[in-house]
Amino acid sequence: MGNDRTDGFVFCDSKMKYLSIYLSFFLGSYLWPFSVSADTPAKRPTTLIGLYPTGKSAPENPISPRLVFDYLSDPITRLGNEKVRFFVNSVQLKDWKLSWGLMDEQGNRVPMEKLEEMLSRNRPFRLYGSALYDGSLFKKPLEAWKNKSPSSAPPEGVFLSRTQQENLRPELLPMPAVGVSVKPTLPGTSFFTRWFRSPPRRFSAGDSNRPTNVVMILVDTLRADHTPPYGHPFVVAPHIDLLASLGWVFTRSYGASSSTRPSVGSIFTGLQPAAHGAVRHATQAAWLHLGVPLLAQAFQKAGFSTAGISSNAQITGQFGFDGGFQAYECPVWEKAVTPRAIRQLQTLSEPFFLYLHYNAPHAPYEPPPEWRGLYDHLTPSPEEDRYCAEITTDDRRIGLVLKELAKQGLLDRTLIWLVSDHGEEFWEHGWNGHGAKVFEETVRTVSIVADPLHLPMGVRCDQPVTHVDIFPTLTEWFGWKKPRYVQGISWLPILQGRETTEAAHRPLFLHHGGGLGPGAHESDKEAVLLDNQKLIWWTQKNEWELYDLHLDPGEKQNQWRPGLEIQPLESLLKKHLEECRIIGMEYTLPNEAGKSVELRPAEIENLKAGGYLQGK
């Protein structure tokens, strides 16, 4: 199955596993099976200690300007008589060298070996950390510039500005630990926020009744292979890397489509676009069927507080995406998503489900001024350079959300799911963009699940997974009843390390719905991917494409010829579409007939800015 567990934790044996699953259902929705197992607590972290940046960056020396950032935790105390353990090497960031140490009350650095001695004095202490950027960002621009224009001066932006250097800093270093407790400070929480917030529920480290909150962060148009955990050589994204280090990276994650509305619809419903109804992204005539059960509704029904914030107007309430959210803000400005998310984290009562949707790095690629020029001349095109800079921008926003989770003491009881809705093409098939084809560059997505107190850390899983799996996975995770129709599978067996033939060799389906009107469009496509074979059907033209991803990963050689035997892929695809049709009919309510979505001015402006509507 390709799981490559690097944390070295030992799982409970299978008998304990089943016992723990049983207990978890018995105890209700707050517990994850593994948290009940009897033989693992000593080997698993029970808390995450946040270390926050302190002071400014310091270039190590002016000739080789490697950046060094310092970090410090809040005061730490021993928890009862438990043996204290820090998981020092479990967090690793690509291009960064991390080091850790102890600090006494007077601010003196103390070697890690002195831990027991310090604990015996029963005084609070702190952890300090340091992060040294050792990546290629300083070296490559010069090489790229030399190759491109040896006679001219270095283009502006080749060297990082002071602000850019400062902004590269990881916002948080978490240290997994056992047997300690840390008192989070709450700077920035105003008196009024505290006064009006729901009664805080605070749980100590190791408390098995801690709730599990869920924060789902969707980064629009984030192409998986442009992030460090998926192998990009130089894009700096320490917080995405941090989540990968704390959790599971699904290396073969597929979107349901290559456009926002159909894909997010599949995340929210566990259904393929042809079943949930939001089949097109550029029309006002495609929405989630009014009868479809939604993910946020499942959370709400289970007693979670629910909130959603999105800067992409494709997923407004108008199109049916706000169901189950007690608070849903869409569209908001891109730069408003993080401050609003932080406000929600300060006020939401637990347990909660928070959905964040960042529209960048969606076109037009316009990184904020402080990030412009970060990767100039490093990729084959200026568009891709700016796209990469937007990824680093988003990464910092994600970092601020993670930091707030830590500061609120929520990091160790929150499952974080980072996902993208689709990728982006940079002329691999003659075009720049997404939402028209179903080739790998636009349908491969990021999917990283982090909950280090309940799941092993640093796992890379190469099982093929898809958007429609997210709903059933969360449903089984919390022990809820599944909706009547779900077209994905739960990843629970995968997360438990059980190999399943069903998961490894199942067909995945991909969709594209084009056009501005309500009906079919000549560019409409449906595709099936089974193992390495991808069959694409142009449904209106009745044309076919067939690719072998193993022999032809760039999908350049269409193997389809008239008379070519394409069963059983063709019958899998047609059976699937018939299933979608039946589910879609089931969930279509009578009051949908003649429905037309009326866009509000803010939505029109947002959609125009994203290139969805004519006029830009």
Written as six digits, the tokens of 99 are: 């080091």
Which stretch of DSSP H or E encloses residue 266?
helix 260-269
- Of 220 and 390, nearer to Zn ion (C-beta) is 220
Instruction: Report the nearest approach of Zn ion to the CB of residue 210 (Å).
Output: 34
- Of 409 and 610, nearer to Zn ion (C-beta) is 610
- Of 274 and 315, nearer to Zn ion (C-beta) is 315
- Of 262 and 458, nearer to Zn ion (C-beta) is 262
- Of 419 and 450, nearer to Zn ion (C-beta) is 419
- Of 273 and 452, nearer to Zn ion (C-beta) is 273
Instruction: Report the nearest approach of Zn ion to the CB of residue 553 (Å).
Output: 23
Instruction: Report the nearest approach of Zn ion to the CB of residue 330 (Å).
Output: 13
- Of 165 and 442, nearer to Zn ion (C-beta) is 442
Number of helical (H) and strand (E) elements in the chain, helices listed first: 17, 24
Q: Which stretch binds Zn ion (CB under 5 A): 178-186, 259-267, 349-357, 586-594?
A: 259-267
**Could you tell me how many residues of this chain bind Zn ion (CB under 5 A)?**
3
Instruction: Report the nearest approach of Zn ion to the CB of residue 421 (Å).
Output: 4
Instruction: Report the nearest approach of Zn ion to the CB of residue 213 (Å).
Output: 25
- Of 160 and 607, nearer to Zn ion (C-beta) is 607
Instruction: Report the nearest approach of Zn ion to the CB of residue 233 (Å).
Output: 25
Instruction: Report the nearest approach of Zn ion to the CB of residue 457 (Å).
Output: 29
Residues whose CB is less than 8 angstroms from the CB of residue 238 and which lie 6 or more positions away in sequence, other chains included: 93, 95, 96, 131, 168, 170, 228, 395, 399
The Cα 263–Cα 447 span in angstroms is: 13
Q: Which stretch binds Zn ion (CB under 5 A): 21-29, 175-183, 218-226, 326-334?
A: 218-226
Q: What DSSP string runs through 336-384?
A: GHHHHHHHHHHHPPSSEEEEEEE-TTSSS----GGGTTTTTTSSSSHHH
- Of 462 and 605, nearer to Zn ion (C-beta) is 605
Q: Which stretch binds Zn ion (CB under 5 A): 7-15, 220-228, 473-481, 486-494?
A: 220-228
The Cα 236–Cα 96 span in angstroms is: 10
Instruction: Report the nearest approach of Zn ion to the CB of residue 555 (Å).
Output: 21
The Cα 549–Cα 531 span in angstroms is: 9
Per-residue exposure over 339-351, b if at least 16 CB sit within 10 Å of its own CB, e if not: ebbbbbbbbbebb
Q: Which stretch binds Zn ion (CB under 5 A): 44-52, 56-64, 151-159, 219-227?
A: 219-227
- Of 67 and 267, nearer to Zn ion (C-beta) is 267
- Of 395 and 421, nearer to Zn ion (C-beta) is 421
| 16 φ, ψ (degrees, to nearest 5) | -65, -35
Of 165, 251, 257, 260, the one binding Zn ion by CB under 5 A: 260
Report angle CA 5, 33, 92 to the nearest 5 degrees.
30
Written as six digits, the tokens of 23 are: 């207990």
Instruction: Report the nearest approach of Zn ion to the CB of residue 258 (Å).
Output: 9
The Cα 257–Cα 172 span in angstroms is: 33
Report angle CA 380, 386, 390 to the nearest 5 degrees.
135
Instruction: Report the nearest approach of Zn ion to the CB of residue 422 (Å).
Output: 5
Instruction: Report the nearest approach of Zn ion to the CB of residue 311 (Å).
Output: 11
- Residue 603 contacts Zn ion per CB under 5 A: no
Instruction: Report the nearest approach of Zn ion to the CB of residue 445 (Å).
Output: 10
Residue 591 carries which DSSP code? G
Q: Which stretch binds Zn ion (CB under 5 A): 37-45, 253-261, 388-396, 465-473?
A: 253-261
- Residue 220 contacts Zn ion per CB under 5 A: yes
Strand partners, 353: 214, 306
> H helices within 452-551, ranges in order?
470-478, 492-495, 501-504
- Of 260 and 408, nearer to Zn ion (C-beta) is 260
Residue nearest to Zn ion (CB): 260
380, 379, 474: which is closest to 419 by C-alpha?
A: 474
| 460 φ, ψ (degrees, to nearest 5) | -110, 125
Q: Where are the beta strands (DSSP E) in 139-222?
A: 173-178, 180-182, 213-219
Contacts with Zn ion, 446-485, as mask; x by CB under 5 A: ----------------------------------------
| 289 φ, ψ (degrees, to nearest 5) | -55, 140
Per-residue exposure over 47-78, b if at least 16 CB sit within 10 Å of its own CB, e if not: bbbbbbbeeebebeeeeeeebbbbbbbbebeb
Contacts with Zn ion, 307-336, as mask; x by CB under 5 A: ------------------------------
- Residue 394 contacts Zn ion per CB under 5 A: no
The Cα 444–Cα 253 span in angstroms is: 6
Contacts with Zn ion, 411-430, as mask; x by CB under 5 A: ----------x---------
Q: For helices 382-407 and 238-246, what crossing angle results, to 10°?
A: 50
Which residues are at the interface with Zn ion (CB under 5 A)?
Answer: 220, 260, 421
